[in-house]
Structure 1
Amino acid sequence: MSYAYDPELAPLISLLPVFGPADLPTLRAQSVTGDSGPPYDPPVPVDIRDRTIPGPADAPDVAVRVYTPEGGGDGPRPGVLYLHGGGFLFGAPQTFDASTTRTAAEAGAVVVSVDYRLAPENPYPAGLDDCYAALLWVAKSATELGIDPDRVAVYGESAGAGLAAALTLLTRDRGGPPLCYQYLGIPELDDRLDTPSMRAYVDTPLWNRPMAEFSWDSYLGPGRRGASDVSGYAAPARAGDLSGLPPATVVTCHYDPMRDEGIDYAQRLAQADVPVELRLYPGTFHGSVLAHGAAVSKQMIAEALASLRRGLGVSSANRES
């Protein structure tokens, strides 16, 4: 198919890597060697430390990377639990160092990025269990981390946004720890793969239907994708009740197979009386925010930070910038 990409993004398409399920070892190797974006020079120093925290019961400990900006007064800061993308299959905190450093510096928040277990070796619920364990640790260690426990948000992108949505459901149903806000960037939410965008976009850059099929088959286990009894904690689009969840921002891209499941989820949040902001960026594709020189990509980054600051109750006048 041909697509009306944003004029600044269109010339980059031919330069982007084309990968499939067979490329998983390469993707994993690349994701642990460094950041996926250009260098970022924060306006304030950001202390970055790797920690190992208690994992779920009968499971390994969880590695996290903690980003703490300097300055900002004497009181506790808001906290952000960051869940990286990668189709449940690849990715690591260091892959997204630039974006998490930017979030810490420009939102004035302590960011905890979770190195959750990956599929297919560790299918659902391993990754979600690790994220919940990290949230429990953040709540328990709030004083040590300098975090205000009443201002903790979850921020996820792609598969990480699916985990973020699932985490809000899990914390609601388990009675905490509380989350004040959820940011769902280009979220992976629905294993049924039956929306118009998912049926149409079989050859789009960076993410397409074949990769979505592989992702869900790996995360849920063979033969589970599309089954009637898949849990809403695994695929949040399956959740029957979205009431009582924290305010949300949902971001979608025009030529993204997961566009419509994000739009549908935002609409259902609104119908459940959850405050929600939905953004759809024309001419973009899944992951096009990585094209940092394009105006639309700069807009996506700026608006994501603005939404996060609002969700955390950080005024523009007091932000670290």
Structure 2
Amino acid sequence: MSTDVTETTAGTGSARPVAHGRPTVAPVPFDREIAPVLEALAAAPQPGLSRETLAAMREPGLGPGFPSGAELVAGRAVTAEERVIPGPDGAPDLEITVFAPADRGPDPLPVLVNFHGGGMIVGHRSWEHGRVLDLVERHGVVGVNVEYRLAPEDPYPAGAEDNYAATRWVAEHSDELGVDPGRLIVMGGSAGGAFAAAVSLMARDRGGPAIAGQLLLCPMLDNTNSTVSSLQYDGIGTWTRDANLLAWECVLGTELAYSEQAPATAAPSRAADLSGLPPAFIEVGAAEMFRDEDVDYATRIWATGGQAELHVWAGGCHGFDMYMPDAEITRAALASRDSWIARMIGAGVER
């Protein structure tokens, strides 16, 4: 069943995929605890994401506000350190926040390197300080939260190269950070999940650094926007099809935005070969637009003989753990993530 066509966006020449009427498959219902929250969000609409609103959504006073690392660790047995590290060759330096257990012993700790979400066009690492800090507390690891350049001002490959450079720096400065480079996990949600997948591909193809696992939370993998779930959630939920189309246009430009020729390190679904990758944990809601591309990514990893653990949460919307932290579905999802992380940091990788 085909429900997708393309149209030429006025003044750009870009072939933009659009829904042919409404999708012929009804959307999967939202979880009973999630639906009221989404209804409340819809009843108080915010300005839509567009090229005109991007700047406003990035301003601290206008976009979502989140506490600093120092504010979050107050009263907790975790330290937060702000650092500036070298970016890719010829590119600006990168800001990172390093969270670590305050009572750590002398032995090197596993390390999680996190890339924030936001469609590669909005967002800030502070959005996900809480997620990283909680993992540091629960698992006794070091967490590194990375700031990277955003499109359209800095389109592909800026973000991917920034995040690869940060991951390589962490591995190369493991003694300084007190971490074990053989137990390094890359992670992220949405756009951050795309970057974690891309960094895993880059590390494989560039001969390092060694990565013990990739934690991909509702990752944004497929630039073609051609799946059934992409159409089922056209205009529905916390991350809409229109926002996703805009994001890929900003990242890849008009010629490659929806093309199957897009680089795999921008849109990992475009990778022809998914063999030789670190074990993947892939989580997605059944009621969101990234569902089908994420299931396909896990299936293709399995087809190579690789390791992937896939969780599709019934009724889950995009980023349900961030929007509904107290829901039962979130408690179950966090328990599954914790189990996988514990197994990965216990195993590590050969160096």
TM-score (norm 2): 0.84
Which of 140, 143, 163 pairs up with 1:108?
140
Name 2:58's counterpart in structure 1.
28
SS of corresponding position for 2:96:
strand
Structure 1 stretches of 4+ with a deviation exceeding 4 A read: 39-44
SS of corresponding position for 2:95:
strand
Name 2:222's counterpart in structure 1.
190
Amino acid corresponding to residue 25 of structure 1 in structure 2: A
Deviations 1:218-273 (A, max 9, x none): 11112321224211111110101111100010001111111100000000011111
Q: Answer yes or no: is 1:15 the counterpart of 2:44.
A: no
Structure-to-structure mapping, 1:226-265, within 5 angstroms: 226-265=258-297
Q: 1:314 to 1:243 in 2, by over 3 A?
A: closer
Q: 1:32 to 1:138 in 2, by over 3 A?
A: farther
Name 1:298's counterpart in structure 2.
331
Structure-to-structure mapping, 1:268-283, within 5 angstroms: 268-283=300-315
Tell me the distance in 2 between the aligned counterparts of 1:66 and 1:40. Answer: 13
SS of corresponding position for 1:47:
strand
SS of corresponding position for 1:192:
coil
Which of 56, 60, 64 pairs up with 2:92?
60
8 Å CA contact 1:169–1:245 kept in 2: the answer is yes
Tell me the distance in 2 between the aligned counterparts of 1:56 and 1:245. Answer: 23
Q: Which moved more, 1:131-140 or 1:121-130?
A: 131-140
SS of corresponding position for 1:197:
helix
Amino acid corresponding to residue 143 of structure 1 in structure 2: D
Name 2:5's counterpart in structure 1.
none
Q: 1:144 to 1:41 in 2, by over 3 A?
A: closer
Computed over aligned residues only, the root mean square deviation of the Cα atoms, in angstroms, reads: 2.1
1:276, CA displacement in angstroms? 0.9
8 Å CA contact 1:42–1:105 kept in 2: the answer is no
Amino acid corresponding to residue 90 of structure 1 in structure 2: V
8 Å CA contact 1:253–1:285 kept in 2: the answer is yes
Aligned length: 313
Tell me the distance in 2 between the aligned counterparts of 1:256 and 1:233. Answer: 23
Q: Percent identity?
A: 36
Structure-to-structure mapping, 1:1-321, within 5 angstroms: 4-16=29-41, 17-18=45-46, 19-21=48-50, 22-30=52-60, 33-35=65-67, 45-290=77-322, 291-313=324-346
Larger gyration radius, structure 1 or structure 2: 2
1:28, CA displacement in angstroms? 1.7
Tell me the distance in 2 between the aligned counterparts of 1:142 and 1:59. Answer: 23
Q: 1:314 to 1:48 in 2, by over 3 A?
A: farther
1:162, CA displacement in angstroms? 0.5
Tell me the distance in 2 between the aligned counterparts of 1:246 and 1:262. Answer: 16
Structure 1 runs not aligned, ≥5 long? 316-321
1:132, CA displacement in angstroms? 1.1
Tell me the distance in 2 between the aligned counterparts of 1:41 and 1:204. Answer: 35
1:61, CA displacement in angstroms? 0.4
Amino acid corresponding to residue 277 of structure 1 in structure 2: E
Structure 2 runs not aligned, ≥5 long? 1-25
1:42, CA displacement in angstroms? 9.3
Amino acid corresponding to residue 220 of structure 2 in structure 1: E
1:43, CA displacement in angstroms? 9.6
1:172, CA displacement in angstroms? 0.3
TM-score (norm 1): 0.92
Tell me the distance in 2 between the aligned counterparts of 1:170 and 1:2. Answer: 35
